[in-house]
Amino acid sequence: MEVTAQGVPYEAFKDNEYIESLVKELQENGTNVVVGSLDKLINWGRSNSLWPLTFATSCCGIEFVSLGAARYDMARFGWEVARSSPRQADFIMVAGTIVHRMAPVLRRLYDQMAEPKYVIATGACAVSGGPFRNSYHVVKGVDQIIPVDVYLPGCPPRPEAMIYSIMQLSRKVKVERFFGGVNRQQKQADFLREHPVEGVNDAADFNTDGRQAPVSDKQ
Amino acid sequence: MATLQETIAKICPTATVAEVDGAPMITVDDAHWHELAKALRDNGDLAMDYLVTIAGFDHVDTMGCVYYLMSTAHNTNLAVTVNATGDREKPFIHSVADLWAVAGLYEREVYDFYGIIFIGNPDMRRLFLSIDWEGYPLRKDYDCSPEANPVPADNERQSDFTTTWVENPDGTVEAKQVEVFSPQDFVVNIGPQHPATHGVLRFRTAVDGETIKKIDVYMGYIHRGIEKLCEQQGYPQTLHYLDRMDYFSAQNYHHGLCMLYERAAGIEISRRAQVIRVMMDELSRIASHCLFMGTFCMDLGATSMLFYTLRVREQILDIMERTCGARMTFNYDCIGGVMQDLDSNFQHDVKELLKVLPANIKEYKKVFVGNVIARNRMEGVGILSREDAISYGVTGPNGRASGWACDIRKWRPYSIYSELDFEEVIRTEGDAMARFKVRLDEIEQSARILEQLVDNIPEGEHLVKVPKLFKLPAGQWFQLCEGCRGVFGMHLESDGGTKPARLKFATPSMPAAGVVDHLTRGEKIADLITIGGSMDYIVPDMDR
């Protein structure tokens, strides 16, 4: 399968072993013609309208602003619809250092996003802690908190590099299986079980089938 | 000087005055500190009305603070060292939060870093770190290992109470719990993830309908511990952190810290390097103000302004990139001069920029300043008086919009600024529109400086050879420079080694965020965005 990104020839982009292995894995058992074609159609749409979350903590965020302005113009790629609400966004560019105080906030933002969701660790700080790795208050890479799809080095990465990283992400989106794959829906009960809050018994609110219990049953 | 001696002798005969780095350094015990501080501020011949910063220190056997004070009327400055009483468990100093409004915030920072408790401070909570944080990170015996304070998995624990420490008549000190908000208050949380807070800043806002009653500013969402990291690095290695604090003032901050090190080490730099540094500072200033205008207008809903202003910024970044090799974190000024010589097209590029600037400024004025919607949203909103600006330590374009001539380039000229012909832009309205206009006019003044220098870059060496590892003599230094957002102060303490024993950065963004509560009381919640945006704070700059 050929994975092109916005008309760039495949050969020019054939430097990402991760995508190659992903394609190989997905094609191992073949695909149903109907589902496969629908996947292709939906992924074509998804990969061309990736909406970022407006999220920036430091310097990298300013380069992200430059990316939105006229010179680098990410609107050319369909990425310009930066959403302020995580519920409407497809991916987070984690632009900047994540510190201890910010870590639970970032985790919550990620949890609030709807599936399928992606993360780009932008800049040295988000990748590994960068120049602040030895600090007492800095998280040594956001992959300690949330799963990362694309690592983008640089301090800060140039807007061109950011374009390249989102193109890599859209390549990944293109080869994914949508039906039965990334389009998984999580039941609310499962979510609450995986994210317990101290002092709150979520299980009591739900029956075993995952439906919310009637209000009168509650203590 | 004579008045100073008299004042001190009257209040506290045991206090000593020494000359440190060209300015008087008073050492006083905690018992007389508050009285002395009041005298320093209120005595008309001294009139120390501007508290630049409070730098805590930990000399293992003693802990305490250095207060840097300046007089806006007499253009004098002095420092006061106060040693804390009590043991390392609970060191105490009397608060001066009632004398300088900004002191409350600075004292919270010292408490957060050193655990020094300020008696009488109305709000003695940690500032950057969470309430469950173990230890005080800038103490010399602090355990930096990740095991001591692991990355939290759960949401941060919060308290609606703050502590204030009061002194009983018998001399004992006692903690009292005070409510931050009353139980009747309706508190709305704004941030840390909010597009209009300019980064990860959090406001807990008590509102009555649409009117703001009180704002509790939460910082620390990008606190990276730069001051502690600097203590672990050699002097030249500390420079690069300044690129990442206020990333728009990277050149200006570098310039300041290089000057401090050069002064301490006795290094003379060439005239060429000085001219290059000043030109880079002014280019940064134009780029920074351009980005401010773009993002501020975007906050108010005028997105297209961003595209107009970033056009100029990109042109400046191109000039920088050709010489420095980077678009943002330049790391260009270094001890002894500048890292690389200028690009051969530099003069040509700057002239091209100066050619297009006037037309652009005219366009900004036409598109935005004259716009009736913009005027309605900005005029008369968030008025800051001159007295409050000084008391809250709000400097830079924000202070100048309130009528305070606080430009260090004019006030305490450094480098070659005294030879240059430019005006300090001052307005008296003190509202959001004035802050906007000051920045717009400062672009013109920066262009004037560039015009004077672009054809007069002297020949010579751009860099004096300085060893990669060098020692500074033991002592203390304090340096001020003008960043794009205001007065940037640096306090350096050396123990004679290759690393700074204490390096404290006093950034202009922190007071700018601290004054938001004062400015927004009684205003509508929609104006919070206007006021916050017009203060133009950079969150990594305040959190460090």
Record: contact A145-B222, CB cut-off 8 A: no
Q: Name the closest residue on chain A to residue B157, using Cα atoms.
A: A101
CA separation for the pair B241, B225 (Å, rounded):
10
- Shortest Cα distance, chain A CAs vs residue B148, angstroms: 9
CA separation for the pair A43, A172 (Å, rounded):
10
Listed by number, the residues of chain A in 176-205 with a beta carbon closer than 8 Å to a beta carbon of chain B are 198
B119 forms beta bridges with: B94
Find out whether A121 and A147 touch, Cβ atoms under 8 Å: no
pTM over 0.90: no
Determine contact: B144 vs chain A, CB below 8 A. yes
Residues in A touching B128 (Cβ below 8 Å) = 101, 137
Number of other residues whose CB lies within 10 A of the CB of residue A99? 29
Residues forming CATH 3.30.460.80 domain(s) in chain B:
1-145
Record: contact A131-B307, CB cut-off 8 A: no
Complete DSSP assignment for B428-478: S--SHHHHHHHHHHHHHHHHHHHHHHHT----S-SB----SS----SEEEE
**What integer pLDDT is reported at residue A171 of this predicted model?**
82
The values of phi and psi at residue B491, to 5°, are -115, 120
Record: contact A137-B223, CB cut-off 8 A: yes
Confidence check: pLDDT of A217 > 50: no
Residues in B touching A55 (Cβ below 8 Å) = 193
Top mean-pLDDT range of A21-25, A183-187, B528-532: B528-532
What is the pLDDT confidence band of residue A218, given thresholds at 50, 70 and 90? very low
Determine contact: B518 vs chain A, CB below 8 A. no
- Shortest Cα distance, chain B CAs vs residue A39, angstroms: 33
- The list of chain B residues with pLDDT below 50 reads none
**What integer pLDDT is reported at residue B286 of this predicted model?**
92
What is the pLDDT confidence band of residue A216, given thresholds at 50, 70 and 90? very low
Confidence check: pLDDT of A181 > 80: no
- Cα B50 to Cα B47, B256, B389, B480, B512: the distances in Å are 9, 20, 9, 14, 14
Record: contact B144-A101, CB cut-off 8 A: no
Residues in B touching A69 (Cβ below 8 Å) = 294, 306-307, 310-311, 314
Query: CB-CB: which of B154, B193, B328 is closest to A63?
Result: B328
Digit-coded pLDDT (tens) for B472-490? 888 888 989 998 888 999 9
Structural domains for chain A: 50-166 (3.40.50.12280)
ipTM of the complex: 0.84
Record: contact B540-A57, CB cut-off 8 A: yes
Write the CB contacts of B509 (distance below 8 Å, at least 6 apart in sequence). Answer: B246, B485, B537, B538, B539, B541, B542
Q: For the sheet with A150-152, list strands across it.
A: A52-53, A91-95, A118-122, A150-152
Residues in B touching A64 (Cβ below 8 Å) = none
**Fold classification of B226-537 (topology level):** Cytochrome-c3 Hydrogenase; chain B (1.10.645)
Residue with tokens 């530099």: B346
Give the pLDDT mean for A117-146: 89
Find out whether A2 and A18 touch, Cβ atoms under 8 Å: no
Give the pLDDT mean for A1-18: 61
Record: contact A101-B130, CB cut-off 8 A: yes
Nearest partner of B453 among B411, B420, B406, B502, judged by Cα = B420
**What integer pLDDT is reported at residue B278 of this predicted model?**
92
- How high is the mean pLDDT of chain A? 79
Share of chain A above pLDDT 90, in %: 2
Nearest partner of B250 among B172, B181, B154, B316, judged by Cα = B316
Record: contact B220-A99, CB cut-off 8 A: yes
The continuous run of DSSP H or E covering A151 comes out as strand A150-152
* Angle (deg, nearest 10), helices A159-175 and A59-68: 80
Determine contact: A23 vs chain B, CB below 8 A. no
CA separation for the pair A171, A43 (Å, rounded):
10
Q: Per CATH, the architecture of B1-145 is what?
A: 2-Layer Sandwich (3.30)
Determine contact: B142 vs chain A, CB below 8 A. yes
Digit-coded pLDDT (tens) for B406-465? 888 888 888 888 888 888 888 888 888 899 989 989 999 999 999 898 888 888 888 888
- Shortest Cα distance, chain B CAs vs residue A153, angstroms: 14
Residue with tokens 């297209």: B304
Tokens of B335: 């001890």
For the ranges A7-21, A79-93, B360-374, B525-539, the lowest mean pLDDT is seen at: A7-21
